[in-house]
Amino acid sequence: MKQGLPGVPTWQEYIKQVPSGSTIGIDPTVINAREAKELEKDLSSRGSKLIYTDNLVDRIRSKSPSRPREPIKTHSLQYAGQSVESKLKSLCQSLKGKSMVISRLDEIAWLLNLRGSDIHCCPVFFSYCVVTPTETLLYLQSPETLSDAVKAHLKENNIILKLYNAITHDLSSYSSSIFSIDPEGTNMSIIKALGSNEIHWETSPIQLSKAVKNEAEMSGMIDCHKRDAVALCKHFAWLSDRLCMGEKVWEYEAVEQLDSMRQLDPLYVGPSFDTIAASGPNGAIVHYAQASDVIDPSQIYLCDSGAHYLNGTTDITRTWLFQGEPSSFQKQAFTRVLQAHISVDQAVFPQGTTGEDQNS
């Protein structure tokens, strides 16, 4: 079976089909609290139960891959627009005396004005963070390897450093505390460790705070797109010249050349996702990643690319026809897309309309 194909159940649907009286074991670190609670309820209604155990695959593998431990850097107030002290104060006010375990890596990076690169194309680092009314604790894999600048940053903001693997042990030492927990962003190992502490299931207030951009963030977003536009113009000029001169250019060469243009900017950090450089029919392949064909200048070329800069992140898509005339179908398709953009731009949405509503 391959999940996602027509007629193939999700793993959750498949588990619900087990015979009554079954016991299903799962590693609590790989399932969030909402999914786990729903699965517990569904299995219980069928006379079965869900139990939490260590990862059985890890038991039998001779060597488990280690998590990346890339350097962590401070994110300048110039680009963040709000200090760590201010963010923590606002968070504690939202929590109203409760404590909070933060598991989402993007939330931790935003809250503490830190950046990393432990996950491909994402400026985050493996960590947990616990915020109580009296202290803030940051759990890292190798806190002893932090640079002096990061250590000073954390000390200035009274952040206590702890070892990553100590999170569940430390949480089990709390008693009679009230924790605000986001069920979508917290795995079940955290819930199990909290034991009998009172849990309030709530959307993370950090998600809401992070969604409202301050002046520095909005200014940075505009500026980083200008910087990226310069790199893109240089890249497409290079690509157009080479193709029009009859030179052979491979898709992977275009990817590398675009990245080299971005690297000329002092604020460039890295790609925000792997660039899609697709010639002709390759452009119809969702998330095409091979980049193994020669670019045909007489067919539509698709470039879907993005970049992280210190002051913002971009994600652009461009289509080019370097030689010849577009067909009537291509003209019609592009006109329809333009009309859709104009229609959305002129639309007035009722108050309370969400992005999800618009996508539907």
Are β-strands 136-140 and 159-163 bridged in parallel, bridged antiparallel, or unpaired? parallel
Q: Which helix (H) or strand (E) holds 337?
A: helix 328-346
The Cα 318–Cα 233 span in angstroms is: 11
**pLDDT above 70 (res 360):** no
pLDDT digits (tens, 9 = 90+) for 148-157: 999 999 999 9
Q: Is the dihedral of CA 266, 270, 276, 277 positive or negative?
A: positive
pLDDT tens for each residue of 98-150: 999 999 999 999 999 999 999 999 999 999 999 999 999 999 999 999 999 99
* pLDDT tens for each residue of 72-91: 999 999 999 999 999 999 99
pLDDT digits (tens, 9 = 90+) for 203-235: 999 999 999 999 999 999 999 999 999 999 999
Residue 357 confidence (pLDDT) above 90:
no
Interstrand relation of 136-140 and 49-52 (parallel, antiparallel or unpaired): unpaired
| pLDDT on residue 160 | 98
Q: Is 113 left (phi over 0), alpha (psi -120 to 50) or beta?
A: left
Please name which of 168, 217, 177, 145 lies closest in space to residue 28, comparing C-alpha atoms.
168
Whether the pLDDT of residue 359 is over 80: the answer is no
CB 274 within 8 A of CB 304: no
pTM above 0.85, yes or no: yes
Find where tokens 């067919």 sit.
Answer: 299
Tens-place pLDDT, residues 4-13: 888 899 888 8
Return the percent helix, strand and coil in the chain, to nearest 5. 45, 20, 35
Q: Looking at 18-32, 244-258, 342-356, which range is the least confident one? A: 342-356
Residue-wise over 132-141: b if at least 16 C-beta within 10 A, else e?
beeebbbbbb
Place of tokens 């375990």: 101
Q: What is the three-class DSSP state of 127?
A: strand
Separation between Cα atoms, residue 100 and residue 55, nearest integer Å: 26
Query: How many whole angstroms from its chain centre is CA 153?
Result: 24
Q: What is the pLDDT of residue 53?
A: 94
Structural domains of the chain ordered from first start: 11-59 (no CATH), 73-211 (3.40.350.10), 215-329 (3.90.230.10)
In 3D space, the residue among 43, 50, 41, 52 whose CA is nearest the CA of residue 19 turns out to be 43
3-state SS class at 77: helix
Q: What is the dihedral of CA 252, 254, 259, 264, to 10 degrees?
A: 150
* 8 Å CB contact between 94 and 205: yes
Query: Rounded to whole angstroms, how far apart are CA atoms 204 and 200?
Result: 11
